[in-house]
């Protein structure tokens, strides 16, 4: 809806009304058409102001309506009618003007913004482009380079930057609508052609071809395989090279392709999935809207290695005081310096003053006594963690929440070592913890809903996408990664090279394939865990690590290369070779080829040609099957939870939605058939056997992903 009122006798005020973000639903568009007509028809009205209810201008087109039948007046003619108006129209921008919201403002003759407003054209993040003439008006207003930046990244700008770029005419910290009303009165009757952006020529640039070529390369590099950023560049190019009307036609054509694409569906699914994970629930029935989080102001981090440092930075940047504890003298000094540097860099990026004095560094636990919440990030060693939790229980004030950043150890076991197991939860951050957006909040059998609510809220305040998951080895993300990595190892045994496997998965859209990723994070990390699990241990009789363990196929290739001291980038050699220890550029290593040939010969394995399709199917379908298993067990509550974990924690390409969304796109029946096919070929690999939930879903006709949660409720008793 939109409401019309007349203010001070001669200014028509149109207020968009569709909380919470005044999205341009059919009713809002109809409201705008009706109220603009009214303003034009009423002779007393000399100028018009458009604003949004509740101090929010407009969040753009109604994304929810994209998947249904479009009704109501179309957006584009409505926006053109505003620009063509013979009475001046002023946009009063408060809160946000995003997507279609900014396009609406660009059709107005003047734009006045509140200092705290944010503006942008984020359509690209939804797999679209600004197709209500945004791709044609913005370059005409602010130039090609700046428009390319905003349109291809979708980033939001502050009012100050918008003013500097020339997107808005005036910024105020007063009541924006009042300022706009006054301004509208002052411009009544003035000529408008100079204010109609569609009439502007696109500002020329030195070498347009080179500029667009460079932009195209940049977007192709940064979002491998994503089509929307490419279309955005093409649309801006049309603005730069074609008359306005023809540019609009091109914008429309490009949008038609994007609008119905699988990528747009995936990205819009991901948008809503990120919001859905905030509505968490626990098997007990406790959920996000009924549980009050505990108040948290003072925090502590124990262990200042790779993870602890990032967590201290993220907590400090979110405004919490932190007691940072590290027992190792040298580590403490290095951590202090690293944390300070990260804070300075972060503050510079955000244009704020760095916070230092809210951190207290300590060798001992004493200063932890009066904190509200502790995050433990010591070595991944259960005995050590037990000891730390016992110390914390003795020193902390009653009611302090004890969280662990373990990558996958048993939360219940750790909780059982404390007098208050209800106050123990996992807070599993991802490296680097001040950058990566994902946080898995892991509840154990006894974790209280308030403890979970507190960790979820803390994650939100730290700018994380937090997902509540159940407790099991590896939780959701790392658990699903195991069958994926196993398949990558098995493929090497059967004839593939690390490059072949990585290339297939990088072409799918991962930033790095499993071997380049393993080189980056350190191959020895998994090796140490496997040794602790008793897997990477030679058989006393043969002296070799067995290739069958507990009745299942096991590949020791990773263990064997670690035995050679090849730990990845840090040692300059791993699955690839690097020019020096710490080097970043991975090059295929002839040593690896020789090693694999010898390994295969030793074990009587005859290498075969493996094609990329097999790599994708085996790695991804094994991971997806494990995803279904976590849903079946209730460890992940919904497919959206898994998808958000994979997109934000494991760099699953966002334009493919996430593993469970991808499974839905591929078709559950196909996934099941291919898993069965591979399981027949490899009966000693249980993770290739389709799990019960997948079979059941196929048996009932493969319902679409948004119906799985409903179906799971019914099926859970039968599974
Ligand atoms: C052959 C076929 C050819 C077809 C051609 C079709 C042509 C169609 C013509 C279209 C013309 C193009 C128009 C335009 O260019 C396209 C767009 O405008 S796309 C939308 C762009 N806008 C955005 O991307 C903004 C998205 N929203 C946000 O980023 C954030 O929500 C926010 C606005 C910054 C607010 O953040 P928060 O305060 O944190 O709040 P939440 O995020 O939790 O949101 C609260 C609530 O609101 C819902 N919501 C937000 N934005 C929208 C929206 N634009 N539409 C619908 N709903 C929205 C959000 O989902 C939350 O609700 P919940 O999910 O929790 O129920
Ligand atoms: N590195 C990753 O990518 C990653 C990702 C997610 C989770 N994790 C988990 O985070 C935890 C920490 O991992 P990391 O990579 O930061 O390890 P790390 O080896 O880099 O750091 C651990 C730090 O803990 C310190 N420490 C040991 N005992 C201590 C004690 N009693 N009190 C205080 N400090 C102590 C060590 O001196 C060291 O500085 C582990 O549980 C790990 O599984 C790691």
Helix or strand (DSSP H, E) at 425:
strand 424-429
Nearest ligand by distance to the CA of 529: 2
Distance from Cα 302 to the centre of ligand 2, integer Å: 9
pLDDT score for 538: 92
pLDDT in tens, 67-99: 888 899 999 999 999 999 999 999 999 999 999
Mutate to test the pocket of ligand 2, among 300, 376, 377, 427 (most ligand atoms within 8 A of CB): 377
Q: Kindly name the residue from 83, 103, 251, 499 that is annotated as catalytic.
A: 103
pLDDT score for 206: 83
Rg (CA), the chain: 28
Q: Rounded to 5 degrees, what are φ and ψ at 554?
A: -135, 135
Distance from Cα 524 to the centre of ligand 2, integer Å: 15
Distance from Cα 264 to the centre of ligand 1, integer Å: 13
Compute the average pLDDT of residues 463-475: 97
Residues lining ligand 1, Cβ inside 6 A? 20-21, 23, 59-64, 75, 96, 98-100, 103, 122-123, 126, 128, 130-132, 134, 255-256, 259-260, 272, 275
Please choose, from the candidates 99, 79, 35, the residue with its C-alpha nearest in 3D space to the C-alpha of residue 196. Answer: 79
pLDDT score for 82: 98
Compute the average pLDDT of residues 426-433: 96
pLDDT score for 168: 98
**DSSP-derived secondary structure for 441-462:** EEE-SS--HHHHHHHHHHHHHT
Nearest ligand by distance to the CA of 136: 1
* Helix (H), strand (E), coil (C) string for 145-207: HHHHHHHHHCCCEEHHHHHHHCCCCEEECCCHHHHHHHHHHHHCCCCCHHHCHHHCCCCCCCC
pLDDT in tens, 131-150: 999 999 999 999 999 999 99
pLDDT score for 589: 97
Give the total residue count for the chain: 719
Helix or strand (DSSP H, E) at 176:
helix 176-187
Name the packing angle between helices 244-259 and 134-142 (round to 10°). 130
The answer to whether 103 is a known catalytic residue is yes
Please choose, from the candidates 428, 408, 533, the residue with its C-alpha nearest in 3D space to the C-alpha of residue 474. Answer: 408
Fold matches, 496-602 and 612-716: yes
Locate the ligand 1 atom nearest the alpha carbon of residue 278 and give its number.
65
pLDDT in tens, 307-337: 999 999 999 999 999 999 999 999 999 999 9
Distance from Cα 107 to the centre of ligand 1, integer Å: 19
Q: Is 377 in the pocket of ligand 2 (CB under 6 A)?
A: yes
* 8 A C-beta contact, residue 194 and residue 109: no
Q: Which residues pair with 13 in a beta bridge?
A: 5, 49
Q: What is the CATH number of domain 612-716?
A: 1.10.1040.10
Residue 233 structure tokens:
């560049």
pLDDT score for 521: 87
Interatomic CA distance for residues 719 and 717, integer angstroms:
6
Q: Is the pLDDT of residue 717 over 80?
A: no
Q: Report the mean per-residue pLDDT for the chain.
A: 96
The per-residue b/e assignment along 142-158, b for 16 or more CB within 10 angstroms, e otherwise, is bbbebbbebbbbbebbb
> In angstroms, what CA-CA distances link 248 with 117, 192, 227, 239, 428?
28, 21, 19, 8, 47
pLDDT in tens, 357-405: 899 999 999 999 999 999 999 998 999 999 999 999 999 999 999 999 9
Banded pLDDT at 266 (limits 50, 70, 90):
very high
Helix or strand (DSSP H, E) at 310:
helix 306-317
256: which residues sit within 8 A by CB, 6+ positions away? none
| Among protein residues, the one whose CA lies closest to atom 5 of ligand 1 | 256
The class of domain 496-602 in CATH terms is mainly alpha
Banded pLDDT at 287 (limits 50, 70, 90):
very high
| Among protein residues, the one whose CA lies closest to atom 20 of ligand 2 | 305
- The structure's pTM equals 0.95
539: which residues sit within 8 A by CB, 6+ positions away? 545, 546
Distance from Cα 97 to the centre of ligand 1, integer Å: 11
Please choose, from the candidates 673, 655, 656, the residue with its C-alpha nearest in 3D space to the C-alpha of residue 617. Answer: 673
Interatomic CA distance for residues 34 and 45, integer angstroms:
15
The class of domain 2-259 in CATH terms is alpha beta
The class of domain 298-472 in CATH terms is alpha beta
CA dihedral over 423, 426, 432, 436, signed as positive or negative: negative
- Reported ipTM: the value is 0.96
3-class secondary structure, 174: coil
pLDDT score for 106: 98
Q: Is 211 in the pocket of ligand 2 (CB under 6 A)?
A: no
Distance from Cα 406 to the centre of ligand 2, integer Å: 9
pLDDT in tens, 612-647: 999 999 999 999 999 999 999 999 999 999 999 999
Please choose, from the candidates 639, 642, 643, 703, the residue with its C-alpha nearest in 3D space to the C-alpha of residue 667. Answer: 703
Q: Kindly name the residue from 123, 326, 355, 499 that is annotated as catalytic.
A: 123
pLDDT score for 703: 96
Banded pLDDT at 710 (limits 50, 70, 90):
confident
Compute the average pLDDT of residues 400-423: 96
Q: Is 672 in the pocket of ligand 2 (CB under 6 A)?
A: no
Mutate to test the pocket of ligand 2, among 300, 307, 386, 649 (most ligand atoms within 8 A of CB): 307
3-class secondary structure, 80: helix
pLDDT score for 222: 86
Please choose, from the candidates 285, 287, 369, 261, the residue with its C-alpha nearest in 3D space to the C-alpha of residue 325. Answer: 369
Q: Is the pLDDT of residue 118 over 80?
A: yes
Distance from Cα 210 to the centre of ligand 1, integer Å: 33
pLDDT in tens, 385-398: 999 999 999 999 99
Sequence spans of domains, the chain = 2-259, 298-472, 496-602, 612-716
3-class secondary structure, 540: coil
Q: Is 409 in the pocket of ligand 2 (CB under 6 A)?
A: no
pLDDT in tens, 211-252: 999 999 999 998 889 999 999 999 999 999 999 999 999 999
| Among protein residues, the one whose CA lies closest to atom 28 of ligand 1 | 59
Interatomic CA distance for residues 693 and 615, integer angstroms:
24
Banded pLDDT at 719 (limits 50, 70, 90):
low
- What percent of the chain has a predicted confidence (pLDDT) above 70? 99
């Amino acid at each position: 809806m939109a409401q019309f009122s007349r203010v001070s006798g001669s200014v028509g005020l149109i207020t968009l009304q569709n909380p919470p973000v005044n999205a341009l639903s059919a009713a809002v568009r109809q409201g705008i058409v009706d109220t603009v007509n009214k303003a034009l028809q009423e002779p007393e009205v000399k100028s018009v102001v458009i604003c949004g209810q509740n101090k929010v201008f407009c969040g753009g087109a109604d994304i929810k309506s994209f998947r249904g039948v479009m009704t109501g007046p179309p957006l584009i003619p409505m926006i053109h009618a505003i620009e063509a108006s013979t009475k001046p129209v002023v946009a009063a921008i408060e809160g946000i003007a995003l997507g279609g919201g900014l396009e609406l403002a660009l059709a107005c003759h003047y734009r006045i913004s509140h200092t705290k407003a944010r503006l942008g054209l984020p359509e690209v993040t939804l797999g679209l482009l600004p197709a209500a003439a945004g791709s044609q008006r913005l370059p005409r207003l602010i130039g090609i380079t700046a428009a390319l930046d905003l349109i291809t990244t979708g980033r939001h700008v502050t009012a100050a930057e918008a003013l500097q770029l020339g997107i808005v005419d005036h910024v105020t910290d007063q009541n924006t609508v009042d300022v706009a009303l006054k301004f509208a009165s002052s411009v009544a009757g003035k000529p408008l052609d100079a204010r109609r952006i569609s009439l502007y020529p696109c500002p020329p640039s030195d070498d347009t071809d080179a500029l667009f070529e460079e932009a195209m390369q940049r977007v192709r590099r940064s979002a491998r395989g994503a089509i929307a950023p490419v279309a955005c560049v093409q649309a801006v190019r049309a603005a730069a090279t074609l008359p306005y009307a023809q540019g609009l036609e091109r914008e429309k054509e490009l949008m038609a392709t994007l609008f119905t694409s699988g990528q747009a569906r995936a990205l819009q699914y991901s948008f809503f999935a990120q919001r859905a994970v905030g509505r968490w629930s626990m098997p007990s029935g406790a959920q996000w809207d009924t549980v009050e989080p505990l108040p948290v102001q003072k925090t502590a981090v124990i262990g200042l290695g790779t993870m602890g440092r990032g967590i201290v930075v993220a907590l400090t940047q979110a405004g919490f005081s932190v007691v940072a504890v590290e027992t190792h003298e040298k580590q403490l000094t290095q951590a202090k310096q690293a944390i300070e540097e990260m804070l300075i860099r972060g503050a510079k990026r955000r244009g704020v003053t760095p916070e230092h004095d809210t951190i207290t560094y300590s060798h001992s636990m004493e200063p932890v006594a009066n904190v509200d919440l502790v995050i433990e990030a010591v070595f991944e060693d259960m005995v050590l963690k037990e000891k730390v939790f016992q110390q914390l229980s003795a020193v902390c004030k009653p009611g302090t929440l004890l969280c662990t950043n373990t990558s996958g150890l048993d939360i219940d076991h750790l909780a059982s070592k404390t007098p208050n197991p209800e106050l123990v939860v996992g807070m599993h951050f991802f490296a680097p913890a001040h950058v990566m957006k994902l946080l898995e909040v892991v509840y154990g059998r006894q974790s209280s809903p308030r403890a979970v609510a507190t960790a979820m809220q803390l994650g939100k305040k730290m700018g994380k996408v937090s997902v509540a998951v159940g407790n099991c080895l590896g939780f959701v993300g790392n658990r699903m990664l195991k069958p994926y990595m196993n398949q990558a190892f098995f493929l090497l045994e059967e004839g593939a090279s690390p490059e072949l496997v990585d290339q297939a998965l990088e072409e799918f859209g991962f930033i790095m394939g499993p071997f380049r990723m393993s080189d980056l994070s350190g191959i020895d990390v998994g090796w140490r865990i496997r040794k602790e699990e008793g897997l990477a241990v030679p058989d006393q009789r043969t002296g070799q690590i067995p290739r069958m363990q507990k009745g299942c196929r096991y590949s020791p290739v990773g263990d064997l290369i670690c035995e050679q001291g090849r730990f990845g980038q840090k040692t300059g050699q791993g699955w690839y070779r690097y020019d020096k220890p710490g080097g970043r550029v991975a090059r295929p290593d002839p040593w690896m080829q020789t090693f694999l040939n010898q390994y295969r010969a030793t074990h009587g394995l005859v290498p075969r040609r493996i094609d990329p399709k097999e790599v994708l199917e085996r790695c991804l379908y094994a991971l997806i099957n494990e995803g279904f298993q976590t849903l079946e067990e209730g460890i992940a509550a919904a497919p959206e939870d898994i998808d958000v974990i994979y997109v934000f924690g494991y760099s699953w390409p966002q334009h493919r939605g996430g593993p469970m969304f991808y499974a839905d796109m591929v078709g559950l029946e196909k996934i099941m058939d291919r898993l069965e096919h591979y399981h027949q070929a490899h009966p000693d690999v249980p993770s290739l056997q389709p799990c019960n939930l997948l079979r059941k879903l196929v048996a009932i006709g493969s319902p679409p992903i948004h119906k799985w949660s409903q179906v799971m409720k019914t099926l859970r008793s039968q599974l």
